[in-house]
Amino acid sequence: MKVPFFDLTPQFSSIEEEIKSALEEVFKTQQFILGPKVEVLEQAIAQYCQTRYAIGVASGSDALLLSLMALGIGTGDEVILPPFTFFATAGSVSRVGATPVFVDIDPETYNMDPSKIEEKITSKTKAIIPVHLFGQCVDMDPLLQIAKKKKIFVIEDAAQALGAEYKPHQNANGQRAGEMGDLGCFSFYPTKNLGAFGDAGMVVTNNSDLAEKVRILRAHGSQPKYFHKWIGINSRLDTIQAAILLVKFKHLEKWTEARRKRAEQYQKLFQDLLSSVPGLRLPMIQYKNRHIFHQYVVRFPERNRLRQFLTEDGIGTDIYYPLPLHLQECYSFLKHRQGDFPISEKAAEETLALPIYPELKEEQEVFVVDRIKAFYKDRGLGV
Ligand SMILES: Cc1ncc(COP(=O)(O)O)c(C=O)c1O
């Protein structure tokens, strides 16, 4: 049996006709940039995220960049973020001329540890970017308290967390990823829970001034056309991508629930291995959060050997992320060293993402866990 790490083809087969007719509509109108489809998608995402505004942009990276620009963050400013995230979180900060200031993560959730933020705040700190990594929200209450006390902005990097909820209440939604900070940023990169057929992204906010500013900045800062209020960028959402995303959005809840079910199944299948393999850690769900399992990431002893073993068995896995940002070559000017953020460094060495997607079959999942059990059995561990 083969288990690819990720496979979009079954999802496409299930919606092929809907996608084709949505594209046909766009072809007939010959409108390719922004337009009514983008506006409908913006309304749908705003409603889904429980925010007043949503602005479609060209990628999740641009969503971060435009949020920083809208807040006027630039040269001489500092922005706090975790070193264990996708590069764009820090890259966008550097792009506006500001300095990324790293704060280590929690070893169980892999999200930024709010108890370590305050010691990093200086007179130059303008914002914090919590990253809701792998589909679970950062512990936002203490983070928001600090931000409020110190009067600094919060930009949520919710690229991996569309539909994730923080502290859900009984019989009611919790706070959705993206609605808790000043601005929330989403990515519709093809492998995301809601993926386009190319790059696309969205900024959400409850602040009308910031919404207006992002909207103007995404079109070269022009308002009205050819009169430039600010120096913006070209980061508009394509109509074709919006049409595709609107089709897929109708299925998002069903797909997310399928991912959550697959995660629950992994949790059950791994139970007996937990007590016999020291150091093996499954994803931890805080506060009964709604984790949307963009990734299912496990801490495994002998991670690299296990990965090789699974590859030979036809099982795809991936590493998110093999080198924390403070140790990246491009950030050598920040003068960080190995050991500066030990929890992120350990996570980079020990974690492995297993296949998880709505169409993953139960028998494929059983096979993945069986092969992992076989790996540890060969080492005299486990069942
Ligand atoms: C945490 C995080 N931030 C930002 C991004 C950037 O999004 P995009 O690839 O759409 O530019 C991604 C996605 O790749 C991400 O995972």
Q: Cα(294)–Cα(136) distance, rounded to whole angstroms?
A: 9
Continuous H helices in 151-251: 208-217, 239-249
Residue 172 has pLDDT above 90, yes or no: no
Residue 63 has pLDDT above 70, yes or no: yes
In terms of residues, how long is the chain? 383
Specify the pTM.
0.97
Q: Cα(320)–Cα(317) distance, rounded to whole angstroms?
A: 10
Exposure b/e, 59-84, CB count within 10 A at least 16 = b: bbbbbbbbbbbbbebeeebbbbbbbb
Neighbours of 21 (CB within 10 A): 11
Q: Cα(185)–Cα(60) distance, rounded to whole angstroms?
A: 6
DSSP 334: G
Ligand 1, closest atom to CA 92?
4
Indicate the pLDDT class of residue 357, thresholds 50, 70 and 90: very high
- DSSP code per residue over 50-118: T-SEEEEES-HHHHHHHHHHHTT--TT-EEEE-SSS-THHHHHHHHTT-EEEE-PBPTTT-SB-GGGTG
Strand pairing class (153-157; 125-128): parallel
Pocket of ligand 1 (CB under 6 A): 59-61, 85-86, 88-89, 131, 157, 159-160, 187, 189, 199, 201
Q: Which tokens sit at 279?
A: 């150091």
Taking residues 20-39, what's their average pLDDT? 96
Percentage of the chain beyond pLDDT 70 is: 99
Residue 287 has pLDDT above 70, yes or no: yes
User: How much distance in Å is there from the Cα of 187 to the middle of ligand 1?
Assistant: 6
For 342-354, write each residue's pLDDT tens digit. 999 999 999 999 9
> Is 28 in a helix, a strand, or coil?
helix
Exposure b/e, 319-348, CB count within 10 A at least 16 = b: bbbebbbbbbeebeebebeeebbebbbebb
DSSP 237: P
175 backbone dihedrals φ, ψ, rounded to 5° = -80, 135
Q: What is the pLDDT of residue 171?
A: 67
For 243-278, write each residue's pLDDT tens digit. 999 999 999 999 999 999 999 999 999 999 999 999
Residue 174 has pLDDT above 90, yes or no: no
Residue in 187, 218, 237, 344 to alter for ligand 1 test, most ligand atoms within 8 A of Cβ:
187
User: 38 to each of 41, 126, 240, 241, how far by Cα in Å?
Assistant: 5, 31, 9, 9
User: How much distance in Å is there from the Cα of 156 to the middle of ligand 1?
Assistant: 12
User: How much distance in Å is there from the Cα of 114 to the middle of ligand 1?
Assistant: 22
Query: CB under 8 Å to 276, separation ≥6 — which residues?
Result: 376, 381, 382, 383
Residue in 95, 156, 189, 318 to alter for ligand 1 test, most ligand atoms within 8 A of Cβ:
189
Residue 146 has pLDDT above 70, yes or no: yes
Q: Cα(267)–Cα(102) distance, rounded to whole angstroms?
A: 31
339: left (phi over 0), alpha (psi -120 to 50) or beta: left
Q: Cα(140)–Cα(34) distance, rounded to whole angstroms?
A: 33
Protein residue with its CA nearest to atom 10 in ligand 1: 60
